[in-house]
Amino acid sequence: MEQNAEPPLTDADAVSRELPARIVIPPIRGEMVHLRPAAVEDLPRMDELGAYCGASRITGKDMQAERAVVHAWVRRSVAWSEGRSETGVDDPESRRTIAWSILTDADHDDDGTIDAAETGNVIGMIFLIDIDGWARSARIQIVLGKDYRGRGYSRDAMPRVMTFGFAPEPAGLGMHRIWVGVPEKNTRSISVYQSLGFVPSGTSRDALWDAENNKYQDLIVMDTLADEYDPIASLDAFGMHVLEDNPGVKEALSMREHSVSIRKRNAEEQQTRPVIPEEAKAPMPQPGEEPGESQRQEHVPPEQSEPRAVQRFREPESGDVRESSDGEESSWPYGSSERKSSKTAWWRNLGRGRKRDMEGK
């Protein structure tokens, strides 16, 4: 009999990591947008928005493939919310999907009219796809109309969806990892994802075809984990506010309190420890060794020695290191006294004056 054999899985082990047969998709509020469960009836609006234009640059797919996969994701999401299989086949490798439609009812470009009124205020969709209950992993993707890109909508919607994804059940999905796949030449999206806390975790070589340049390109895989991701900092970095009635936010605030108490306890322990003189710390030189030789070490910058969970955020536009308002380096730099005023948020003026008749651009 093998000594190191793993114990057999029990029914309780399997059930504990199973996704529910039916899910209630919650609405989510933002400051610039709000999200509601996507419906099949929203799909024609995505065509009206030109949501698939430039897909090869953004996701690495051609327009037809991007459109087909969005249609499939919405139908899978609706099927899960109704407690049925979208394909009718019990496939254990099938991954669940959640789809939200992104709506705005504000005049963000200051042209005197409500944005996207002609499409029922729908400006795009956001998805959690490839939801794996066993591995507690999901992929996030956002698809916006061509006139609504680069205007800050992603930075309002994505952190709130990710907060729901990471929040423990029943408040959220209880995911451990959320990841994205980005074409290597989509440097703009890579910067946005870095500002949201994603870190590069690997590269799929020549995974995508670059039709514009007639060559293959790499797919950059980026991810963040539940104990690394700071949903509040990712909002605060862009002058947005925490909306505490959104799903998963209360759990994030509770985690923040826990993180603060740990830091305080560690600081108190450091203060009570006896101070050891520097000369007492230096090791005695070994025979044949020059004094101080054993102390020569390669210099490691402080930010590289920190765990990823407490590294500071960088705003991609400026590259400036961002710290919490109390001067501490913290993965939870938020609170009512630390939140920026929405009146000074950079995205308030983003997209003003942009023309809506830029067909084909």
Backbone angles phi, psi at 141, to 5 degrees: -150, 145
Does some domain include residue 71? yes
Q: Tell me the C-alpha distance between 249 and 213, whole Å.
A: 43
Q: How confident is the model at residue 331 (pLDDT cuts 50, 70, 90)?
A: very low
Checking if the pLDDT of 248 tops 50, the result is: yes
* SS3 per residue for 151-205: CCHHHHHHHHHHHHHHCCCCCCCCCCEEEEEEECCCHHHHHHHHHCCCEEEEEEE
Does some domain include residue 311? no
Does some domain include residue 174? yes
The residue segments making up the domain with residue 225 are 23-253
- Per-residue buried b or exposed e for 85-114, using 16+ beta carbons within 10 Å of the residue's own CB: ebeeeeeeeeebbbbbbbbbeeebbeeeee
Does some domain include residue 68? yes
Give residue 153's pLDDT.
Answer: 93
Using one digit for the tens of pLDDT, what is the confidence trace for 112-131?
888 888 889 999 999 999 99
Overall average pLDDT of the 61-68 stretch: 92
User: The domain spanning residue 180 has which CATH number?
Assistant: 3.40.630.30
CA angle 40, 132, 70 (to 5 degrees): 25
Using one digit for the tens of pLDDT, what is the confidence trace for 264-311?
788 888 888 776 666 565 566 566 655 554 454 445 454 444 433 333
**Pick from 13, 27, 20, 12: which is nearest to 170 by CA?**
20
Q: Tell me the C-alpha distance between 78 and 63, whole Å.
A: 23
Q: Which residue has the higher pLDDT, 102 or 304?
A: 102
Checking if the pLDDT of 145 tops 70, the result is: yes
Does some domain include residue 109? yes
Give residue 240's pLDDT.
Answer: 87
Give residue 56's pLDDT.
Answer: 83
Give residue 272's pLDDT.
Answer: 80
Using one digit for the tens of pLDDT, what is the confidence trace for 154-213?
999 999 999 999 999 889 999 999 999 999 989 988 988 998 889 999 999 999 998 888
Does some domain include residue 187? yes
What is the pTM (predicted TM-score) of this model? 0.71
**Number of domains, the chain:** 1
Percent of the chain with pLDDT over 90: 42
Count other C-beta atoms under 10 Å from residue 329's C-beta.
Answer: 16
Q: Which residue has the higher pLDDT, 26 or 214?
A: 26
Q: Tell me the C-alpha distance between 39 and 35, whole Å.
A: 12
Give residue 93's pLDDT.
Answer: 63
Does some domain include residue 14? no
Overall average pLDDT of the 329-343 stretch: 38
Does some domain include residue 153? yes
- Average pLDDT of the residues of the chain: 77
Overall average pLDDT of the 62-80 stretch: 94
> Could you say which DSSP state residue 321 is in?
B
